[in-house]
Structure 1
């Protein structure tokens, strides 16, 4: 019973730490919609998208086609598809940071609005466990152990990733505080200099007017 409880707790943590984002959004012609996801390096990522057919049983109209691009925050392109109604992508993140999936609908007159289904998974959630079971010819218990191992590994990597991000933020805070201190001293120096120049100017003016 205790082992089963621990198994469920670890699996729950793994699900929280591994992103699985399935959503449906509306896209207007002539507009772009971007969705961002923070992904750590060497993490598996898979995505699947499709335009929702407004009329079941009929082919999608030519106006319901989109252009999709997936890029990292450094501008590296990981997926690009033009004038499509459905597609998918899969890659291993080479760099940590925010990844953008942008969907663009060509301009039409009159303007139209349609829906897009998008399923984006990262980490343990991105692995195809059905293929793992087929290839390894393992039973249910062995498959669960594989999932558990990958989940624990993901948690371990996530902890190190969060620690690195925390150190980066602390370093940024130190740098910002140092710059703010120097800016404060500079502002004080400028204010005192201006006040001194004003006093000197007034003294010189009064001396010329023989008022003092």
Structure 2
């Protein structure tokens, strides 16, 4: 039965690889709606967002390519809530930016006007590529005239660089978590000490009050 574990491990690695490289999805959005997505990104990492907007067709009940006038306002904020990108794009395009700090980056999209589709619903196809997945190696081959072996080496180097960034980010998160845990433990300790001190003071005051009461009643 020992052969099962390598197969399970291989399947897990393949599944994780698919999850990391395939972030394509679509969502529906109305004329007043705002959709936001959170991507946990290491610092100095390239991100490419491909999108395509389709307009709902009430006659066919499906979605058709939208007119050029329908666009999307895209806003990207980093982990410190600083705006990295904010502009209006057309109905189909590619957005690229580079993260400058670790953490959760928020990508928000909403229609740039309410008059173009008169309350109809839009379907937005979205594909987010992070790190080496954001590199178009076809363009790299044409631009740098790389052989197949050189291209493979370039891809491996990019993957190693991305893994290094991910490891640095995980160390950063671990350090933040450790600091939070130490701070929480310290506060819990001080709270326990304060509670103990209050109980001791209340006990001493009650004993003194009872002693004064017994003395006043001449019971002691």
How many correspondences in the alignment?
203
Distance 1:97 1:58 in 2: 35
The TM-score normalised by the length of structure 2 is 0.76
Shift of 1:173: 1.3
Cα distance between partner residues in 1 of 2:114 and 2:206 = 62
Match of 2:191 among 168, 183, 186: 183
Which structure 1 residue ranges, 5 or more long, are not aligned?
Answer: 1-7
1:120 match: 128
Residue of 71, 75, 80 corresponding to 2:86: 80
Q: C-alpha separation between the residues in 1 aligned to 2:164 and 2:68?
A: 47
- Quote the offset at 1:17 in angstroms: 9.3
After TM superposition, give the deviation of residue 115 of structure 1 in Å.
1.6
Higher relative CO (Cα under 8 Å, sequence separation at least 6) belongs to 1
Equivalent pair of 1:47/1:89 in contact (CA under 8 Å): yes
Which of 172, 175, 179 is matched with 1:171 structurally? Answer: 179
Partner of 2:103: 97
Against the structure 1 CA distance between its residues 89 and 65, is the aligned structure 2 distance closer, same or farther, given a 3 Å change threshold?
closer
Unaligned runs of 5+ in 2: 1-9, 58-62
Query: Quick one: distance in 2 between partners of 1:25 and 1:142?
Result: 39
* Cα RMSD (Å): 3.4
Q: Tell me if structure 2 keeps the 8 A contact 1:46–1:91.
A: yes
Q: Does 1:196 align with 2:204?
A: yes
- In structure 2, the partner of 1:31 is 33
